[in-house]
């Protein structure tokens, strides 16, 4: 079997598996009475066996596909490639904090957000603690979505748009058990009021828009590490603000101003991704 056929077969196996594994985790939690989910968005509890299956089983599959099924380990993106990609690392550190600060200022000026007082030292302590946790968590996640899925799909010679959409939808629908079961109602409402189905729709749009940025940074650096940092920074900066009610977005404005999934920040992230695509295409022409 030639290399491309092996890649297509293994990507198909990977896709089917990741769309199912989370629901297997939900089922196991139900039959073992572990289905008590709280504060999953900030990883502030110990999780459950089902959550462990949801997060870890795709990694085990990738290990099997790479080691025993012909994928190999050359395109993992594990090398930092730091020396020639310093500007990309800097960009990865700054994107989410910069857009978040912009949104906080905009929310303050338009009175669409309520700010609860908190000392800078307390928030920084929360931020640093979250950053450590989220770097570990997002190393595993980026190993899947950029280090495996995106790197494999890039071999198919697809158009940019097909690559963005297909990789985003697989990434998004892996999250479905997380959106529909593992996340608590309080965490859903802190992000976007309107219930779980509304949250799924908004999250899908967000990931479709964000993914352009993620794919382009991966293409530019050939490393998952800038994306681990960027993804971890997003989680560490935004989640505590929303989930600990430091910033409260007035519900009628949440669809536009929500820090993590509002229309305004989502469009900004899409524009950043499209700009990065334009830079790449200019270099390639």
59 close to 52: Cβ distance less than 8 angstroms: no
Task: Tell me the C-alpha distance between 35 and 49, whole Å.
Answer: 9
pLDDT higher than 80, residue 122: yes
248 strand-pairing partners: 114
Reported as a pLDDT band with limits 50, 70 and 90, residue 81 is very high
Residue 100 lies in a domain: yes
Across the chain, mean pLDDT equals: 93
For the residues 122-133, what does the mean pLDDT come to?
89
Reported as a pLDDT band with limits 50, 70 and 90, residue 185 is confident
pLDDT higher than 80, residue 40: no
Name the CA dihedral angle for 235, 202, 100, 249, rounded to a multiple of 10 degrees: -110
Nearest Cα to Cα of residue 235 among 149, 141, 108: 141
264 close to 110: Cβ distance less than 8 angstroms: no
148 close to 7: Cβ distance less than 8 angstroms: no
Residue 15 lies in a domain: no
Question: What is the dihedral sign for C-alpha 193, 194, 197, 198?
Answer: negative
**Residue bearing the bigger pLDDT, 245 or 156:** 156
Question: What is the dihedral sign for C-alpha 223, 226, 229, 230?
Answer: negative
**Count of domains forming the chain:** 1
The contacts of residue 245 (CB under 8 Å, 6+ apart) are 116, 190
Residue 29 lies in a domain: no
Residue 254 lies in a domain: yes
pLDDT higher than 80, residue 200: yes
pLDDT higher than 60, residue 41: no
Residue 68 lies in a domain: no
CA dist 56 to 50, 53, 106, 186, Å? 10, 5, 39, 25
CB atoms inside a 10 Å sphere around CB 94: 12
Reported as a pLDDT band with limits 50, 70 and 90, residue 44 is low
pLDDT value of residue 242:
85
pLDDT value of residue 35:
65
Residue 158 lies in a domain: yes
Bridge-based pairing of strands 113-115 and 247-249 is antiparallel
pLDDT higher than 60, residue 248: yes
Residue 92 lies in a domain: yes
pLDDT higher than 70, residue 285: yes
Reported as a pLDDT band with limits 50, 70 and 90, residue 8 is very high
In terms of residue numbers, what domain contains 140? 76-284
Reported as a pLDDT band with limits 50, 70 and 90, residue 42 is low
CB atoms inside a 10 Å sphere around CB 137: 17
Task: Tell me the C-alpha distance between 232 and 241, whole Å.
Answer: 15
Encode pLDDT of 85-103 as tens digits: 999 999 999 999 999 999 9
What single DSSP character describes residue 85? G
pLDDT value of residue 243:
79
Nearest Cα to Cα of residue 163 among 152, 173, 172, 174: 152
Residue 235 lies in a domain: yes
Task: Tell me the C-alpha distance between 112 and 26, whole Å.
Answer: 36
192 close to 202: Cβ distance less than 8 angstroms: yes
Task: Tell me the C-alpha distance between 124 and 122, whole Å.
Answer: 5
Task: Tell me the C-alpha distance between 92 and 229, whole Å.
Answer: 6
Encode pLDDT of 135-183 as tens digits: 999 999 999 999 999 999 999 999 999 999 999 999 999 999 999 998 8
Encode pLDDT of 216-242 as tens digits: 999 999 999 999 999 999 999 998 898
Helix, strand, coil percent content, the chain, rounded in steps of 5:
75, 0, 20
Residue by residue, DSSP assigns 194-239 as S-HHHHHHHHHHHHHHHHHHHHHHHHHHS-SHHHHHHHHHHHHHHH
pLDDT value of residue 43:
52
Q: Phi, psi at residue 21, to the nearest 5°?
A: -60, -35
């Amino acid at each position: 079997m030639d290399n491309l056929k092996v890649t297509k077969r293994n990507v198909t196996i990977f896709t089917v598996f990741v769309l199912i594994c989370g629901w297997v985790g939900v089922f196991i939690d139900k039959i073992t009475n572990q289905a008590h989910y709280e504060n999953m968005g900030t990883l502030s509890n110990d999780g459950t066996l089902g959550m462990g299956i949801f997060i870890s089983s795709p990694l085990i599959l990738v290990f099997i596909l790479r080691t025993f099924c012909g994928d190999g380990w050359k395109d993992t993106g594990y090398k930092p490639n730091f020396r020639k990609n310093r500007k990309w690392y800097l960009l990865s550190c700054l994107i989410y904090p910069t857009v978040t600060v912009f949104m906080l200022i905009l929310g303050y000026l338009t009175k669409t957000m309520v700010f609860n007082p908190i000392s800078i030292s307390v928030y920084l302590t929360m931020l640093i603690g979250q950053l450590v946790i989220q770097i570990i968590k997002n190393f595993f996640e980026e190993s899947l979505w950029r280090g495996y899925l995106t790197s494999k799909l890039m071999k198919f010679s697809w158009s940019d748009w097909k690559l963005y959409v297909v990789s985003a939808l697989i990434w998004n629908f892996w999250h479905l058990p997380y959106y529909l079961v593992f996340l608590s109602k309080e965490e859903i409402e802190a992000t976007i009021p309107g219930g779980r189905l509304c949250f799924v729709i908004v999250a899908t749009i967000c990931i479709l828009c964000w993914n352009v940025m993620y794919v382009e940074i991966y293409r530019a650096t050939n490393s998952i590490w800038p994306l681990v940092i960027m993804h971890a920074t997003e989680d560490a900066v935004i989640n505590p603000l929303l989930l600990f009610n430091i910033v409260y977005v007035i519900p009628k404005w949440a669809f536009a101003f929500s820090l993590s999934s509002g229309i305004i920040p989502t469009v900004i992230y899409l524009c950043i991704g499209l700009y990065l695509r334009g830079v790449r295409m200019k270099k390639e022409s």
